[in-house]
Chain A
């Protein structure tokens, strides 16, 4: 996609009219509208860091850190990323190794292979995703851990035999 215009999700044609920060920024096509995104195509490999002020999607491979504090980041189904991500919302459909810090939500889809750590306000995970990692959700201070799951006092136990007795 080097030097070529690229169609964004909204169908508009965009061109790489301004390089982004990062070693391989000339390989990126860039959208012009604030809510559009830059896509790194699947035949592109990048080593280095990216810092930006717009949404970013990676379909290629990348080794390095991504800093998009107020914007969204997505790894497409063919994307492979290794590094640290700091973004508002993060969606992983490809392969990721590293740590994610999201200020809002992390989404892991069924195609994803995830190895690393997630710190986020919320998370959604589809069945079929592979995860080896650690998940740390922002917790409300002073929340009582078991309140929400307190069993109903009137609910009868469903055990077929007395508690504690091995069968």
Chain B
């Protein structure tokens, strides 16, 4: 197995855990979408140039709504009572695919259920939802962007501007929150990262 160490850009001597991996689930997700004419994808991860270029160069229109930064802004202005998901004001059955990245790792159970419910509404019947989940917070405990590289290789880049709580879950707990979808593929990599591809029923 080819492995590589992701280094902390602020201290090249500190190796980050986990290491990078090659994403089979991402390949499956993308290949399913490019088969569609004008497949539309929503990316809810932290804004990341590599990922935006990856999808935008392969699909006609790539939608981005950075919910990580949204969560932080909601915290800062103490609008806990307001529904952060109001920013997902897309029409029902609009997307063919949604990538949540590791957003669920930063949401409590109630908010995970809410975002999953929104995804169900926003996806076309048969639409795909991809998400990534950590078994435990990375070491050092920092939020990283997943960076898509060549050959579906995923590495990580520290996002020092993002400071959100962690809610890592065991597989059973996570799966119990992903109601309404059927599982297409679920993989656990050696570096402890799980990738899950879900499908909205037809």
Residues of A within 8 A of B (CB): 108, 110, 123-137, 139, 145-146, 148-152, 155-161, 163-167
Q: Do A127 and B46 form a contact, CB below 8 Å, given A152-B151, A155-B151, A158-B22? A: yes
Pick the contact of A135 from B31, B62, B171 — CB < 8 Å? B62
Most A CB within 10 A of own CB, among B24, B187, B188, B194:
B187
Q: Which of B49-57, B103-111, B116-124 contacts A (4 or more CB under 8 A)?
A: B49-57
> Smallest Cβ distance from B178 to chain A, in angstroms?
10
B126-161 residues at the A interface, CB under 8 angstroms: 145, 150-152, 157, 159, 161
Q: Do A149 and B161 form a contact, CB below 8 Å, given A137-B56, A156-B1, A167-B171? A: no
Chain B residues contacting A151 (CB-CB under 8 Å) are: 22, 27, 151-152
B10-34 residues at the A interface, CB under 8 angstroms: 21-22, 24, 27, 30-31, 34
| Separation of A31 and B191 alpha carbons in the complex (Å) | 56
> Considering only CB atoms, which chain B residue lies closest to A136 in the complex?
B61
Chain A residues contacting B93 (CB-CB under 8 Å) are: none
Residues of B within 8 A of A (CB): 1-3, 21-22, 24, 27, 30-31, 34, 46-49, 52-54, 56-66, 69-70, 87, 145, 150-152, 157, 159, 161, 171, 175, 183, 185-191, 194
> Smallest Cβ distance from B170 to chain A, in angstroms?
9
> Smallest Cβ distance from B81 to chain A, in angstroms?
22
| Separation of A165 and B30 alpha carbons in the complex (Å) | 20
Cross-chain contact B22 with A127 (CB below 8 angstroms):
no
Chain A residues contacting B189 (CB-CB under 8 Å) are: 158-160
Chain B residues contacting A134 (CB-CB under 8 Å) are: 61-64
Cross-chain contact A127 with B161 (CB below 8 angstroms):
yes
> Considering only CB atoms, which chain B residue lies closest to A128 in the complex?
B161
**Chain A facing B: main interface SS:** loop
> Smallest Cβ distance from B21 to chain A, in angstroms?
5
Chain B residues contacting A159 (CB-CB under 8 Å) are: 24, 187-190
Cross-chain contact A158 with B183 (CB below 8 angstroms):
no
Q: Do A131 and B64 form a contact, CB below 8 Å, given A158-B1, A160-B189, A164-B186? A: yes
| Separation of A129 and B24 alpha carbons in the complex (Å) | 28
Cross-chain contact A125 with B49 (CB below 8 angstroms):
yes
Pick the contact of B66 from A124, A130, A150, A160 — CB < 8 Å? A130
Q: Do A132 and B65 form a contact, CB below 8 Å, given A158-B1, A158-B3? A: yes
Chain A residues contacting B185 (CB-CB under 8 Å) are: 163-164
Chain B residues contacting A137 (CB-CB under 8 Å) are: 53, 56-57
